[in-house]
């Protein structure tokens, strides 16, 4: 099993994130785990902190959220890939439960829903509204049962990765991988406890939201 975590100037968040990884619990379940941190050129202590905590750090100089995941998935060795951000907003503690479902029920792709259990200060109103609009459009245009199309925490069987890998190298990677997975794989969406990130966000709310909106429309009317 491989954890794949993209970072960019997350020296505090990556410490909290890696310190909470349930590696012992997963090993007790029979999984050999590796942690791959894909760093986009951090200028702080992100890489050093990740290596100190046992992660394998891969530097990806090409910018882009999706580009980081493509690089990370390419070097990771596990048959099951666990992906989430390095800012401590997503709870690693739920991974054993999700992986158990993947193995027991033969699920190919599990994504997470941040909204049901979100902390009050985890996301401002504009981001909540933007996420709601994008998720509604994904449901309406593609007929998939997704509550949270922008969530950045997934568990993926490697053997389906080839048919769900997005074209996008940017933030739209997140919505595209879900659309492709829900169209071609056995999938689930599970609620998680989503919390306020550690450190400053790299997302430009309006600009990134518009880019994701146009990408959804492009996928619908030009094709996957």
What is the predicted pLDDT for the residue at 224?
65
> In whole angstroms, what is the distance from residue 124 CA to residue 130 CA?
10
Using one digit for the tens of pLDDT, what is the confidence trace for 16-35?
999 999 999 999 999 999 99
Quick one: average pLDDT of 30-43?
96
DSSP string, 53-121: TTPEEEE--S--HHHHHHHHHHH---SEEEE--SSS-S-GGGHHHHHHHHHHHT-SEEEEE-STT--TT
Residue 104 buriedness (CB in 10 A; 0-12 / 13-18 / 19+): exposed
* Structural domain for 203, as ranges: 2-222
What's the pLDDT band for 200 if we cut at 50, 70, 90? confident
pTM for this model (two decimals): 0.92
> In whole angstroms, what is the distance from residue 168 CA to residue 221 CA?
16
Using one digit for the tens of pLDDT, what is the confidence trace for 121-174?
898 999 999 999 999 999 999 999 999 999 999 999 999 999 999 999 999 999
What is the predicted pLDDT for the residue at 135?
95
Q: In this structure, what CATH number is given to the domain that contains residue 77?
A: 3.90.550.10
Domain count, the chain: 1
């Amino acid at each position: 099993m491989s954890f794949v975590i993209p970072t960019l100037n997350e020296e505090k968040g990556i410490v909290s994130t890696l310190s909470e990884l349930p590696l012992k619990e997963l090993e007790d379940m029979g999984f050999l785990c590796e942690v791959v941190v894909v760093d986009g050129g951090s200028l702080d202590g992100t890489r050093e902190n990740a290596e100190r905590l046992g992660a394998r750090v891969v530097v990806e100089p090409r910018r882009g959220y999706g580009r980081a995941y493509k690089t990370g998935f390419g070097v990771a060795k596990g048959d099951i890939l666990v992906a989430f951000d390095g800012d401590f907003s997503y709870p690693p503690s739920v991974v054993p439960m999700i992986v158990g479902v993947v193995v027991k029920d033969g699920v190919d792709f599990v994504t997470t829903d941040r909204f049901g259990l979100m902390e009050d200060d985890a996301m401002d109103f504009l981001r909540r509204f933007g996420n709601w609009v994008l998720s509604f459009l994904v449901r309406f245009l593609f007929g998939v049962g997704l509550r949270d199309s922008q969530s950045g925490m997934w568990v993926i069987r490697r053997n389906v990765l080839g048919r769900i890998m997005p074209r996008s190298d940017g933030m739209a990677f997140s919505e595209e991988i879900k659309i492709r997975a829900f169209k071609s794989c056995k999938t689930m969406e599970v609620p998680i406890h989503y919390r306020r990130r550690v450190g400053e966000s790299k997302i430009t709310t309006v600009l990134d939201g518009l880019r994701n909106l146009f990408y959804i429309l492009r996928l619908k009317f030009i094709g996957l």
